[in-house]
Structure 1
Amino acid sequence: MTYTIGQVAKMKDLTVSQLRYYDDQGLFPFLQRTEKGDRLFDEEALNYLEMILCLKNTGMPIKEIKQFIDWSMMGDETIPERLEMMKQQEIKVLQHIREAEENLKKIQQKIAKYQI
């Protein structure tokens, strides 16, 4: 089954422009196209999109996401590089979580103070 860019935009709560931008940045080298050039997303493309959005939402720059996609397209020989990239991103996400938890504690302390 394939999906149009409009269908994918609705499914993922994105805009068509966002998806086109990601494609223009080289994040979808695997997309099929119709004879008219319209983008078609299959299940594998949707899985890649999920990972792209995950990395983006955890603060990874587009340039690094593109590197991840490029390595993925090269096959299993790049697994060590992808593993290291994911480990580094994990460290960044865990740090962000710690900072968010510290900020939450401060906010909760302020709420407790105001409720007295």
Structure 2
Amino acid sequence: MLSENDLSDLSSMKAVLLTLFERPPSLVQALEDDAVYLLGKSRHLLVHRAGHVDSKFERETASRWKAGMVLTISANELAGYARAVVAVAEAAVDAYSGSAQAEQKARPA
């Protein structure tokens, strides 16, 4: 599964994490956070368009940025993105811990 998904976008992360951990509600909720979505779209824009907003970004994010503008991220937005990433990481760790414990209980002694 990882060979087909490089985890560089939200869709790939969702596909891998939710399959690996059998869709735990806390992980689903964390991955569905608007901040995670906007962070992914912003990352793509920064990496591939040097932060220059295009009509696709404008349409897909319904944000304050309009085509032709340069993306700027405030300290508060950055803090919100960081909180969202931490929530995803914590949910993934919790899901892993839960699946590891379940697997250990299922093993014969």
Shared fold (TM-score, shorter chain, > 0.5): no
**Greater Cα radius of gyration, structure 1 or 2:** 1
- When the two structures are superposed, what TM-score results if normalisation uses the length of structure 1? 0.36
Report which structure shows greater RCO (CA 8 Å, sep ≥6): 2
Q: Which has the higher strand share?
A: 1
- When the two structures are superposed, what TM-score results if normalisation uses the length of structure 2? 0.38
